Amino acid sequence: MLNLAGQLPDDWSGMHGPTTMQEDFGGLRFQLAYMSYALALAHVHRLPGAPGLFKKPFEQLIEKMLSPDVWAYWHYVSTGNGPINRSQGELPAQWNPVGKDNIMYSAYIQSMALMYHYLFRDARYAKEGALTFAVASMFWGDGSLRFPYDERSLNEHLYWSMVERGFLGIACEPNCVFQICNQPAIIGFRMHDLVYGTSQAQEVMDGYDKAWADFGVLTESGHFNMMVMEQERVVVTPPDAPWVDFWLAALMHAWKPELVGERFPAHIARWAVEAPHDTLWIQPAVQHRLDMSPIISARDHGWAAVAAAEVGDERTLARLLGYADRFMNPVHENGAYFYPRRDEHFDAQGRLSVMDPHTGNVLLGYARLNVKDGLRKLFEGPLTDAHFAAPALASLSKGINVRRATYDAERRMLALTLEPGASRVDACLTFDNSVEKGMPEVIHDGTDAPCLSVEGNQLEMRFSMSRRTSLVLAW
């Protein structure tokens, strides 16, 4: 994820799937958004003392989300007249990707920007125009395709769109209100509450419960309903769609943990297939293009793993990840571990072998990085003033993997475990909230003695590293 975030702007190497025009549920917007969620969870729950590892990649992901490559699909999808919204006929094309409908994009950029503000106490996306959607074309148009927003104006726009629809939700494609893609908006409202002291999330959650009571969050058989056709007021759920159960579970667990925890075992029992070496795979849903050619992905498997991690079903998670590691062809490349795209649907034994970039780049990694109740705890707001006042790793030179970064306030100690990506790294680390505490004692496990200095309001540490190294800064 860090490698993909760090690619040059509009370099989407390794991120394109088997469909075109960014329409499917594995498009760039979904990869970028869930990378940011995964990094947020890894920071809060695993490496709380290393904001410097996550802050710049988070900014890079938001920058990429603003690229027209990610959202220009809306100009075409907004016209509707497709298989699931043909009743409305052809609609006028829209360029503004957040103006009306398209919650499958707008909620993600809203929640990412506000999550960034909450995680790092950095208000850069609150500045006027900080979230501007613009097409800077070379050979057409007059330069007027600019739609300026910021985290607050975008959040207010989505909030009032929710209100106008009676809190049922905002449509993805015109007329199609998916439960799933309205969950990130609720997460975004909660991040807004944590940053600005509002109570929008609770209002939206209460309204959502009342609105969906008319249709049912669940089907009669206990699966999650997928969407409501807004004009017809008809609920729709495909008969064989594991991803609906697991994707919704992974997100809704943030605010409905009892419901999700109750249904998850039955959903796994319904969709999982036993495999060798005590592993599991998930029977995939089959989608079709307009020419009726089938599209099969590993998305169902990936979302099942994410949901298992969130609800804390460690055995199911281990079996799903074990299957991916044995049968889905993972690779180590440029210091990263991931599952490259593979279009062959099943292997010679009839087992799932397909891999899409959304699952291989993001979902399986998200599942590994998360902890039990990870999104729910983030939703509740675990970061206190004491967290932001504690000494923390603010930056580090390239080629270093961070395995541990935790501050113990009682002992006044910041513990780090680092690994070099190459045979030897000349490490330079900087620390926030440390200078005022005085020079710390540095306890290390035999590495070259670190050199400490003060640079402005930061502590700087330099040393050479050729193996995994543990350091403790004690004040």
Buried residues in 52-85 as b, exposed as e (16+ CB within 10 A): bbbbebbbbbbebbbbbebbbbbbebbbbebeeb
Query: Of 25, 212, 167, 203, which is closest to residue 104 (Cα–Cα)?
Result: 25
The tens-digit pLDDT sequence of the chain (475 residues) is: 999 999 999 999 999 998 889 989 999 999 999 999 999 999 999 999 999 999 999 999 999 999 999 999 999 999 999 888 888 899 999 999 999 999 999 999 999 999 999 999 999 999 999 999 999 999 998 889 999 999 999 999 999 999 999 999 999 999 999 999 999 999 999 999 999 999 999 999 999 999 999 999 999 999 999 999 999 999 999 889 999 999 999 999 999 999 999 999 999 999 999 999 999 999 999 987 777 788 899 999 999 999 999 999 999 999 999 999 999 999 999 999 999 999 999 999 999 999 999 999 999 999 999 999 999 999 999 999 999 999 999 999 999 999 999 999 999 999 999 999 888 899 999 999 999 999 999 999 866 789 999 999 999 999 999 999 999 999 9
Token pair 């590994």: residue: 368
Predicted confidence at residue 17, as pLDDT, reads 93
Cα 195 to Cα 34, 59, 122, distances in angstroms: 21, 18, 10
What are the residues whose beta carbons fall under 8 Å from the beta carbon of 252, sequence distance 6 or more? 179, 183, 259, 260
Predicted confidence at residue 422, as pLDDT, reads 81
Per DSSP, the chain holds a count of helices (H) and strands (E) of 17, 19
Angle at 375 between CA 415 and CA 296, to 5 degrees: 115
Predicted confidence at residue 104, as pLDDT, reads 98
Predicted confidence at residue 447, as pLDDT, reads 64
Predicted confidence at residue 83, as pLDDT, reads 83
Buried residues in 313-339 as b, exposed as e (16+ CB within 10 A): beebbebbbbbbeebbebeeeeeeebb
Domains of the chain: 2-385 (1.50.10), 393-474 (2.60.40)
Token pair 């103006």: residue: 99
